[in-house]
Structure 1
Amino acid sequence: MRQLDSYAHILPRAYFDRMADMAKDKGAIKRWLTIPVLYDLDARLKMMDGHPDYQQILTLSNPPIELVAGPDQSPEMARLANDEMAKIRDAHPDKFPAFVASLPMNNVPAALEEMDRAINVLGARGIQVFTNVNGRPLDDPEFWPIFERAVSHHDVPVWMHPVRGANMSDYLTETKSKFEIWWTFGWPYETSAAMTRMVFSGFFDKLPTLKVITHHMGAMIPFFDGRVGPGLDQFGSRTSDEDYEGLLKSMPKRPIDYFKMFYADTALAGGSAGIRCGLEFFSADHVLFATDCPFDPEGGPMFLRTIPEAIDSLDLSEDDREGIYFKNALRMLKMPCDC
């Protein structure tokens, strides 16, 4: 069966070299330096050769452009990233049928301009944002034009990737997060927090056709369906300094119904329990196959094996499997289905 990986990460070589040159702290990009599949296209193609039915939608890897470059240089970096991903798609359309545009989020006017160029000129099929912009929430009014342009003008989906570093401590008495808690549990929290901000800031009411693909199966939301269901039906009862109860009454839908409007991917490092949980919450038509390639212990190949194994271990109908593996993504990206 065709497998269209909706969240595969890449750092095109020209972009990678420029990013490495700009990095003040080489330790900050330590992980990326040890994964050749990220920036070596030949290594990536060789890895994919053993999976003839497997394809990737390319998304730029961490770190976010706005973390690498200031607002004066980030537009140039975004253009370089998008140009290089478009070249890879054009050179190998059978392997990489689409890419997602990266934006300089710390320069909103330039982000709007680059979005238009990447979609209209290069043919990008969506945009990628991270769960915060250098510590600022996505529902900050300054970023609203980006979402409005993507949805109302271009009608493309939004890929949302978590970002959180060790500098975001777990305790007020400490200055950094220890034991990589910032990644293991911090990233799911970041994604869940960003989703919640979108829900209560009215993103789906203002943009009813908004499609957001949440990385790692919607993070904490499916597992905590009771907290976002009956729990948030009591929204405001715990808060005295803001009128959250009034906000709840003004919302056309229950909070949980907004959370179900998000899309999710299967990039859960090969675990089947989380995929089962996410499918039950979002339903199969809101779940897309993704591997998080190449961030596995083998530097790429492992999740290409283990995530399909996890999906196939579930009692899914053939229609649901086809939807998850490729049809949902093709429909979302408005790409033809040769099936």
Structure 2
Amino acid sequence: MTERSGQAGDATDGPVPTTPVCYRHPDRETYVRCTRCDRPICPECMRDASVGHQCPECVSAGRRSVRPARTAFGGGAAGRQGYVTKTLIALNVLVMVLSIASARSGSAVAGGGLGGLMGDSTPLTDWGAVLGLARFSDGIIGGVADGQWYRLVTAMFLHFGLLHLLLNMWALWVLGRTLEAVLGPLRFLALYLIAGLGGNVAAYVFTEPNRFTAGASTAIFGLFAAIFVIMRRLGRDTSAIVPVLVINLVFTFTVPSISVAGHLGGLAVGALMALVLAYAPRMRRTAFQVAGGAILLVALLGLVLVRTATLVG
């Protein structure tokens, strides 16, 4: 009988199985694999997924491939926090404090129109309110027609007294948060500024050239029109908006110190901008919205140029 000699583990035996190790930590054995790339991962590298676990690289790649949440009109979801609305209110309050400080008198808070409830003008409102063309007490001529175009913007942040400020800021708080959440921060800010500018341009065009007008109400009326348009576009009930808008229009036409042109101008331009934002075609929504806003700005610029030519001609 022929004998064969040999040792255990000779070439006749099969391969010795090995335990998988984490691809990021080779010294750690693991039987868990990434459900996306199938690489072994240790407990430190595991990231919870909808099914199983994923490795850090696959989680990062998944985040990059996910598009950020958008509103129905293309805005960012950050608008739900109301940051722009809060910033605008803070800016208006700050300017009111500066206005009162510039006057160094309690009449800047109250003591003016509406039976003393409104405040008087201050050096700051004289500097930044909408004014067509007038000669000041020191003999200097000023106004938008004299090249002070900044008044068309600064006027929407100035107020005649504390009551004037509080009424506008309450309306901005109520309307602004809703519109910012629906439109997103940037689109809401564009709506606010263009509506406010539109109201100030209307005040410049249709108001006596030596009359000061100021206040956020030009932009606020634009927000009233916008929330009506936006809610209708979303198919929501607008019955609660109409009475509030009608009441504000009644005040506009009955209170002597209110700028009718400024309110109606803000209302009209706000409605037009809201239509641009709400009915932009989905495929090229952002480009359409930007172009629509630009067209409105050009039209407002044209009105300013025509009015200026009339006053200085």
TM-score if structure 1 supplies the norm length? Answer: 0.26
Whichever structure has more strand as a proportion of its residues is 1
Which one has a bigger Cα radius of gyration?
Answer: 2
